[in-house]
Amino acid sequence: MDIRDAISPYASPLFLLLFLFLFLLLHMPPFVSAIDVGIGIGIGIGGSPEPEPGQSPGPSGATPTPAEPQPCEFVNQKQYEAYKVIQRFKKTITCDPKNVLSTWVGYRPCNYRGFYCGTPPGLKDTPTIASVDFNGFRLCAPTLVGFLDSLPDLALFHANSNNFSSTLPLNLSALPFLYELDVSNNNLSGPFPAAVLPLFRLRFLDIRFNHFAGLVSPSVFNLGLQVLFLNDNSFNQPLPAELGKSPVSYLTLADNGFTGPIPKSICNTSNTLIQVLFLNNRLSGCLPSEIGQLKKATVFDAGKNQLTGPIPYSFGCLHKVEQLNLAINQLYGCVPDVVCQLYKNGRLLNLSLSYNFFTEVGPSCVELIKKGVLDVRQNCIPGQPDQRPPLECSAFRARCKYCPVQEYMPCINQKVSNGVHGVVLPGAATATAYNSYTALQPGDGPH
């Protein structure tokens, strides 16, 4: 019978559609899946596309989400663990002006910008993250906790000039190989980061230009540090006697609130200390003659403090000093001529004594004033230009003085009368680089 004879002429359109649908189903080849068939009446069946390799299927209509990487996809287990730490830290970064994060993709973290790999001691052919160098990246993140302390094979961590906040991790004991730590010029705060104290391999510590405050643990001077930069924070305590126990070569404590005298124990650093910056603190008391025993010092800067008394003659033994700054203090008396003789007999290039209360200079000092090597502006020296008003000098002379004249010179083992003595020391040499002064700028400092 013809199908047209089976259909009543008054059948409804819906009935016709359903009849056609059933007819098609009965006459389709058996290999055609019903999920490929649909009708335009609001009823249909559809399938979801298969997920791409490396992706996990999501709900119908949703974008597939990346699958979690497996350890077998990495060079070794250590790189897999480092990858997880880095990707977790990446999610916390709120600004990236140099588009550094665009390189932190894929399963080879050694290729990420700012990360460098090496094999830890005691292992063989196991490269992993050994160094982080974020200097100048200007990254922003609320904290380094969970990142710095979670890369156990780090030897160097340099992050100068970023915008990392909060404080350093409270526990860094999981970093047994760390020997350089630089978090300078960030937005870190809190007390001195005592977490560095157990790091027995640490040789370079730079936390300058942050907001650390309070007390510096004296134990930091017991570490084997060669470089210690604490400048431009808000530390406010007397300098500890433990300073003399440090083997440090470059020490910068400038632009803080340190108080009290320079400890006499500083002489114990004579075999290592090369450059020391005490400037712009609130140090007081007499200049200790022990400073003259710093036989390797090329820079000694204690300017802009409240130090008082005469300059000890022992300063004439600083035969390697090139920059000697005692300006803006309350020093007085005669400038020892043996100190000015360091220009001819030593390596002295600049002697700044301005804004004190000195009253006399010797013949060698007069020559240095003429050469522009010695600055004695705003003192009380007769015959020199640009001195303090006489009334101001008289008022200072009337004040009680308690610092003795210290004439002993350890390098010649005798006293020197009036500070005039022909001390023959090694001849002038080429000026060294003033690494500590570069630390007074917030950018990438000396390394």
- Of 3 and 186, which is predicted with more confidence? 186
DSSP string, 148-209: GGG-TT-SEEE--S-EE-S---S--TT-TT--EEE--SS--EES--GGGTT-TT--EEE--S
- Of 44 and 285, which is predicted with more confidence? 285
Question: Distance between terminal CA atoms of the chain?
Answer: 98
**Residue 26: is its pLDDT beyond 70?**
no
The candidate with the shortest Cα–Cα distance to 253, out of 292, 284, 286, 282, is: 282
The candidate with the shortest Cα–Cα distance to 193, out of 235, 240, 251, 147, is: 235
The candidate with the shortest Cα–Cα distance to 186, out of 211, 218, 157, is: 211
In this prediction, residue 21 carries a pLDDT of 54
- Of 21-25, 140-144, 226-230, least confident by mean pLDDT is 21-25
Quote the CA–CA distance of 229 and 332 in Å, as a whole number.
30
Q: Could you tell me which residues come within 8 angstroms of residue 333 by beta carbon, excluding any fewer than 6 positions away? A: 309, 310, 311, 358, 359, 360, 405
**Residue 4: is its pLDDT beyond 90?**
no
DSSP string, 239-290: PPGGGGG---SEEE--SS--EEPPPGGGGGGTTT--EEE--SSEEEEEPPGG
Q: pLDDT tens, 211-258?
A: 999 999 999 999 999 999 999 999 999 999 999 999 999 999 999 999
DSSP string, 307-321: EEEPPPGGGGG-TT-
Banded model confidence at residue 433, pLDDT cuts 50, 70, 90? low
**Residue 430: is its pLDDT beyond 80?**
no
Quote the CA–CA distance of 268 and 242 in Å, as a whole number.
10
Residue pair 158/179 in contact (Cβ under 8 Å)? The answer is no
Between the CA atoms of 435, 233, 115 and 78, what dihedral angle is there, to the nearest 10 degrees? Answer: 120
Residue with tokens 């200072």: 396
In this prediction, residue 418 carries a pLDDT of 52
- Of 125 and 414, which is predicted with more confidence? 125
C-alpha of 51 from chain center: 46
Q: pLDDT tens, 354-377?
A: 999 999 999 999 999 999 999 999
In this prediction, residue 443 carries a pLDDT of 76
Domains with residue ranges and CATH for the chain: 119-423 (3.80.10.10)
Q: pLDDT tens, 52-100?
A: 444 555 555 555 666 789 999 999 999 999 999 999 999 999 999 999 9
In this prediction, residue 16 carries a pLDDT of 52
Structure tokens given for 202: 């640490």
Average pLDDT taken over every residue of the chain: 87
- Of 370 and 427, which is predicted with more confidence? 370
Residue pair 179/444 in contact (Cβ under 8 Å)? The answer is no
Model pTM score: 0.82
Phi first, then psi, for residue 157 (nearest 5°) are -135, 110
Residue pair 149/169 in contact (Cβ under 8 Å)? The answer is yes
